[in-house]
């Protein structure tokens, strides 16, 4: 057991510095993330209605606060195969990578914008009940 612990510590000591060196350093450049949402069949419009009512205003408020530079929603013009299907893509342009990854008091903002927290909670629960899949994709520009 002692041999295993020593070997694990040695491997960890070799791997951690190489990971730190390969991680990109935060810059002042905008940081873009695409958030994909796939609703259960027949519920895409309900999902969008709840998203626009309860989540989009939070994002727009973050634009006003300067944390985000821009937010928009897209949907595909045509359909794809089921495995590649998504209903809505929300693109968020953060001020920079640091801002995108640092803690932010979203709960305080929710309480400020939605005083009826019970209704807000129920509607957000419903939005996630009808959500079939969700994934986030950070984007980098290719020169």
State pLDDT tens for residues 93-106.
999 999 999 999 99
**Integer angstrom CA distances of residue 131 from 72, 81, 99, 139:** 19, 18, 27, 23
Q: Which two tokens stand for residue 121?
A: 């909670």
Q: Check the CA dihedral 119-46-81-77 and report its sign.
A: negative
d(CA 39, CA 92): 20
Count the residues in the chain. 143
How do residues 60-70 score in pLDDT, each as one tens digit? 999 999 999 99
Q: Which residue has the higher pLDDT, 91 or 28?
A: 91
Q: Which comes out higher in pLDDT, residue 25 or 142? A: 142
Nearest residue to 88 (alpha-carbon basis) of 53, 47, 120: 47
SS3 74: strand
Neighbours of 77 (CB within 10 A): 5
Is-contact 37 48, C-beta < 8 A? Answer: no
Tell me the CA end-to-end span of the chain in Å, nearest whole number: 50
What domains does the chain contain, in order, with CATH numbers?
31-139 (3.30.70.100)
Rounded mean pLDDT of the chain? 86
Number of CB atoms found within 10 A of residue 110's CB = 18
């Amino acid at each position: 057991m002692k041999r295993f612990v020593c070997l694990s510590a040695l491997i960890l000591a070799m791997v951690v510095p190489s990971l730190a060196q390969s991680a990109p350093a935060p810059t002042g450049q905008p940081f873009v993330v695409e958030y994909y949402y796939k609703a259960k069949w027949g519920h895409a419009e309900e999902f969008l209605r709840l998203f626009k009512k309860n989540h989009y205003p939070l994002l727009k408020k973050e634009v006003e606060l300067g944390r985000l530079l821009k937010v928009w929603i897209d949907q595909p013009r045509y359909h794809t195969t089921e495995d590649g299907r998504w209903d809505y893509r929300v693109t968020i342009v953060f001020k920079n990578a640091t801002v995108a990854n640092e803690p932010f008091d979203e709960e305080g903002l929710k309480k400020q914008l939605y005083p009826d927290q019970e209704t807000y909670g129920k509607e957000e629960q419903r939005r996630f009940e009808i959500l079939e899949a969700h994934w986030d994709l950070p984007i980098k520009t290719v020169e």
